[in-house]
Structure 1
Amino acid sequence: MGVYHPGSRAVQDRVGVRLAADHVGRAVGQGIKPVAAAFLELQPLLIAGAADPATGRVWASPLSGTPGFVRATGPRQISVAGGPPASDPLASALAAPGTPVATIALDPRTRRRMRLNGRLRPTARGFAIEADRVFSNCPKHLQKRDGYELTGRAPAPPVRSGELTDAQAGFVAAADTFFIATVHSGGADVSHRGGNPGFVRADSPRELSWRDYPGNAMFLTLGNLTTDPRAGLLFLDWTTGSALQLTGTARTEFGGDGERTVRFTVSEAVETPAAVPLRWSAPEYSPANPGPPR
């Protein structure tokens, strides 16, 4: 399978970046280079995205542990020790052999990120993923956080609802980072979105929107949404470890001025206090973010 499917190609052609996408796509491979393996072993946080095999809903979930809990265990394989709690909406997907899974390892300390997508295989300690695609992203729109504390605190029981509460809408509006998981016929993908607080809006209890900033020209996320509107969003509170997971559908609106807006409709929300035992420092906003910080 090539780097791009017809959905991504359609968006690239509409925006006029096919040649740039081809250039970036040459860096996508199946192998995990030594520098990437070394990067993974230093990370306490991994974001996974997949579709629940029972419901078909797409979710993004945080996985965390002492650095080394995720590591390369073969030229095309990573292994993850542990996994999400049973209450996590991706728990069944991350225990099912053959599940298409996407991951992103993001280090706010260095503003580096690495993505690996492939097929899952359960193991005695957690799960492994055989890679179909491995690639890095530029640090654009990624906020820098200088350090973290690993508390060891266990997650609280999740609270589920069919729409956002006022407090959750406020949390979304104050966010400077979120993750979006999408799927296509050949697999899954999870990507980072960042900006100054206010870049993503809660327009109603069931509607979110954000401007799609210029990126690496690959259009993997928007390409997936062109062919399959299912998506999952993950918002993390970097100071408390709480997580807000949303699943639903998304569509892209293309403006005449070249701007793109993504509109997301919530089907279900899951809020988990202290979902991850990580507490990070205050952010230094990316200089690439449009507009001044609030």
Structure 2
Amino acid sequence: MSNEQAPTWHQGELTMQKRVGTDKRMADIGPRFIRDFMPEQHRDYFANLFMIFIGYTDRHSQPSASVLFGELGFIHSPSDTSLVINTQNTMGDFIHQELEVGDKVGLVGVEFDTKRRNRLNAVVADISQKNITINVLQSFGNCPKYIQDKTFKTNVAYGDFSTTTRSVLDATDKQLITQADTFFIASSFDDGEALRNRGVDMSHRGGEAGFVKMNDKGQLLVEDYYGNGFFNTMGNLLHNPIASLLFFDWQNGHLLQLTVSSEILWDDNGKTDSNEKTNAERTLRFTPLKVDILHNGLAYLQKD
């Protein structure tokens, strides 16, 4: 079956849309808003980024969130259905360790100063020592809601990589999380042969510093407010609760990557503890399973 025939939404997304009553509107909007090619402005947009956030599945078939860096022009678009990303200057060699031709990936580009963001769901078409080539499955823009303004400078320590792995968050991790105004989440589902539209999503979450809270069990709580109504991430989590979260130490140049188990708490169930009360219709509760600190993993620092 060709991608043109593939359904726009998978069952998890449809379940979420039906619960909130937007399924009929999404049935109309989806095919018009989500394309299997990039408009010219999206191709130009990606070519002018110096970082792009990527979600993929690792060798254990679990979602993983990361970020690719480069000088302007490290991404180019030879056609309206493909991107070529130079990976020479990115974090370690994860591309060559984890990805294979045919793997599904999710990408999102964010311009923090202009508050533009565009997303892709794609399939890996080629991997070389220098580049990864992806073919577009779904291309769509996102509204500027919740993007926090940032400008950047070069991190001179970038490239001096080391990794610390542990099973629980320490006090420094918790402080970084609860003071964050931005994180990214990679989620995945088994799209099967019948869908062939995507298998991994990469999504941005943002808000005022402190929008991510923690309960006394060390679980993360993130209120979910109405956005584009697609429910890409939540639809995935209904089928596969394992996700990967990426937080940033923009001052010191480190990355915090969490493997988590996820739960969707609605306002009518689940939030029984006093420290889990929120004002949102839905809250995501993340239980950390694995903690990775990628030292000097950010090519850019936030300017003061």
Q: TM-score, normalised by structure 2?
A: 0.86
1:234 paired residue number:
246
2:16 paired residue number:
11
Q: Deviations over 1:180-218 (max 9, x none)?
A: 011112210010001111111233575211111211000
Q: State the Cα distance separating 1:266 from its structure 2 match.
A: 1.4
| Aligned partner (choices 199, 202, 209) of residue 197 of structure 1 | 209
Q: Deviations over 1:108-157 (max 9, x none)?
A: 01000111111112134221111101111000011112x32234531430
Whole-Å Cα distance in 2 between the matches of residues 277 and 267 of structure 1? Answer: 27
Aligned residues: 278
Whole-Å Cα distance in 2 between the matches of residues 208 and 39 of structure 1? Answer: 33
1:168 paired residue number:
173
Worse overlay, 105-114 or 148-157: 148-157
Whole-Å Cα distance in 2 between the matches of residues 20 and 93 of structure 1? Answer: 38
- Structure 2: unaligned runs, 5 residues or longer: 1-5, 192-198, 269-278
Residues 1:148 and 2:152 are matched in the alignment: yes
Q: State the Cα distance separating 1:274 from its structure 2 match.
A: 2.0
- In our comparison, the structure showing a higher alpha carbon Rg is 2
Residues 1:217 and 2:239 are matched in the alignment: no
User: Structure 1 runs of 4+ off > 6 angstroms?
Assistant: none
Whether the 8 Å contact between 2:225 and 2:280 is mirrored in structure 1 is: no
Whole-Å Cα distance in 2 between the matches of residues 205 and 98 of structure 1? Answer: 39
Distance 1:157 1:135, change over 3 A: same
2:138 paired residue number:
133
Whether the 8 Å contact between 2:155 and 2:253 is mirrored in structure 1 is: no
2:83 paired residue number:
78
Whether the 8 Å contact between 1:240 and 1:278 is mirrored in structure 2 is: no
2:55 paired residue number:
49
Q: State the Cα distance separating 1:60 from its structure 2 match.
A: 0.4
| Aligned partner (choices 110, 115, 118) of residue 114 of structure 1 | 118
Whole-Å Cα distance in 2 between the matches of residues 24 and 106 of structure 1? Answer: 23
Whether the 8 Å contact between 2:162 and 2:296 is mirrored in structure 1 is: no
Q: Which amino acid aligns with 2:27?
A: D
Distance 1:124 1:158, change over 3 A: closer
Whether the 8 Å contact between 2:40 and 2:80 is mirrored in structure 1 is: no
Q: Which amino acid aligns with 1:280?
A: Q
Secondary structure of the equivalent of 1:130? strand
Distance 1:91 1:58, change over 3 A: farther
Percent identical pairs in the alignment equals 28
Residues 1:36 and 2:74 are matched in the alignment: no
Which protein has the bigger helix share? 2
- Structure 1: unaligned runs, 5 residues or longer: 283-294
Distance 1:164 1:205, change over 3 A: farther
2:107 paired residue number:
103
